[in-house]
Structure 1
Amino acid sequence: MRLRAYAIHLFTAAGASLAMLALLEAAQQDWAMMAIWLAIAFVVDGIDGPLARRYDVRTHARVIDGTLLDLIIDFLTYVMIPAYALYGSGLLPGWTGWFVVLLIPFASSLYFADTRMKTDDASFRGFPACWNMVVLALLVIQPGWGVIFGLVLLLSAAQFLMLRFIHPVRTSRWRTVSLPVAMIWTGCIAYSAWIDFASMSVLTGIVAVTSAYLLLAGIAQQIIYESRSAALM
């Protein structure tokens, strides 16, 4: 059990190497390969948590703080690299790119340190700084810069609002839908990156719909179940 627990920490730490590979590709402005490495890192991040809980790494591998390790890697893959991609890809021109590349790390660093981040149902309180998912979806959908800029401002503010956002693996409510949706989203992003983000209306539509679900499902749950609780009272 001890060997398995430390092996899971090594698996989590591999996410840092994947982040470096994504950064190297971003520096070369190869957004397709950057997206593929970020998508692989996203899969690793989705798997390591359940494995860590199954093999109780807090008991059998206490020397390494798995939560802290996960947060360090998440800040690289979820925040820093996607922020640079928005700036360097030309999705946001001129001053808007400069503004966003400074805003996203600033707001997200505060969010990552917020002790109220997790809710009792394993969801997130406030937008969980999943900028990697946002940027990868934007590379596929390619909306106008005004839409992108407005979305970044909205989500940056949402990090500090009492809104719920699901974790597709850990949030048990609607997980039978959320997990397949997340897998479809990941597959579509990987395929889109593989074809160098060539325009495909069907692929764009699937990414748009699945992204909207993953972004809004927690808020929908919050509205539905809080209204039911209020009605019962």
Structure 2
Amino acid sequence: MSMRMKALLVHLLTATGAVLSMLAMLAAVEGQWSMMFLWLLVALIVDGVDGPLARRYDVKTNWPIHDGELMDLIVDYLTYVFIPAYALWAKGMLQGPLGALALGALIYGSVIYFADTRMKTKDKSFAGFPACWNMVVLVLFALNPGPNVVLAVIVLLTVAMFLNLKFIHPTRTPRWHPLNLSVSILWLVTAAQSAWVEFNEGGIVHYLLLGSSLYLCLAGIAQQILPQKSIDRIV
């Protein structure tokens, strides 16, 4: 198979995210939250795979007709932001005027963030919280905290999109890469297990889901604070 054809197939793989987002949205409208998150997790896997493939087959050179980055951003906004935001409101996890205001800030702020050309740092991490609301909302569904906690988390992370805080990219940030990737896989497995059993698992699965989520949120900030050589001897 030629490199041009391989590059085209990568674009077509990215585009499947739009179909997955529709399947997730249809499930959400029916209140089938577990199925919605399972479709979103499949979309997350596709999003994690298509980037390395795009770089491997140099899609910008071998199939420049389509803009893979633009396609990726369109799909990401649907799967990372729009559908999870709908689920928050439809499930009643955000309510009242304050909840509506927080939801609007989430939606609006994420558009601004996705369009920011400074989104990526020099080490391929993210500058500010990368609007991964699909992951955040799944954890909220699994742990089912009170409405005040949900509101606080949404407000805090919405503000964090525009702060000078670093968030790791699970597959591209070079520092602590083996640990980052391992924790990301742990998060994916525990998230899938939680959704598969309709968030009734509890116990160790939820502790692992919460712990891996906290690591993914805080590892980049830790890298900003801790000297690289000393802490990397430990990690």
State TM-score, norm by structure 1: 0.94
CA distance in 2, matches of 1:53, 1:129: 23
Partner of 2:56: 54
For the pair 1:38 / 2:57, whether they are aligned, the reply is no
CA distance in 2, matches of 1:157, 1:98: 16
Partner of 2:177: 175
Q: Which stretch shows the higher mean deviation, 87-96 or 210-219?
A: 87-96
Question: Secondary structure at the residue paired with 1:87?
Answer: helix
Partner of 2:15: 13
Give the letter for the 1:118 counterpart.
K
Give the letter for the 2:15 counterpart.
A
CA distance in 1, matches of 2:100, 2:165: 28
For the pair 1:204 / 2:222, whether they are aligned, the reply is no
Partner of 2:106: 104
Give the letter for the 1:92 counterpart.
L
Partner of 2:142: 140
The one of 129, 132, 137 equivalent to 2:131 is 129
Equivalenced residues, count: 228
RMSD value, Cα: 1.4
CA distance in 1, matches of 2:60, 2:139: 34
Give the letter for the 1:91 counterpart.
M
Q: CA deviation at 1:142?
A: 1.2
Partner of 2:74: 72
Q: Is the 8 A contact 1:78 1:131 kept in 2?
A: yes
Q: Is the 8 A contact 1:11 1:48 kept in 2?
A: yes
Question: Secondary structure at the residue paired with 1:115?
Answer: coil
Q: CA deviation at 1:115?
A: 1.2
Q: Is the 8 A contact 1:122 1:167 kept in 2?
A: yes
Q: Is the 8 A contact 1:87 1:100 kept in 2?
A: no
Question: Secondary structure at the residue paired with 1:39?
Answer: helix
The one of 141, 145, 150 equivalent to 2:152 is 150
CA distance in 1, matches of 2:91, 2:229: 42
Partner of 2:194: 192
Following TM superposition, the consecutive aligned residue runs of length 4 or more in structure 1 with deviations greater than 4 angstroms are none
CA distance in 1, matches of 2:169, 2:195: 24
CA distance in 2, matches of 1:68, 1:224: 35
Give the letter for the 1:196 counterpart.
E
Q: CA deviation at 1:100?
A: 2.9
Q: CA deviation at 1:227?
A: 11
Q: CA deviation at 1:199?
A: 4.2
Q: CA deviation at 1:93?
A: 2.9
Alignment deviations for residues 36-86 of structure 1 (CA, whole Å, 9 cap, x no partner):
000100110001000100111111010011111111100100110011111
Q: Is the 8 A contact 2:21 2:43 kept in 1?
A: yes
State TM-score, norm by structure 2: 0.94
Q: Is the 8 A contact 1:79 1:132 kept in 2?
A: yes
CA distance in 1, matches of 2:136, 2:229: 29
Q: Unpaired runs of 5+ in structure 1? A: 229-233
Give the letter for the 2:121 counterpart.
T
Question: Secondary structure at the residue paired with 1:62?
Answer: coil
Identity %: 51
Q: CA deviation at 1:141?
A: 1.3
Q: Is the 8 A contact 1:8 1:52 kept in 2?
A: yes
Partner of 2:6: 4
Q: Unpaired runs of 5+ in structure 2? A: 231-235
Partner of 1:119: 121
For the pair 1:215 / 2:217, whether they are aligned, the reply is yes
- Pair 1:225–1:65, CA change in 2 (3 A): farther
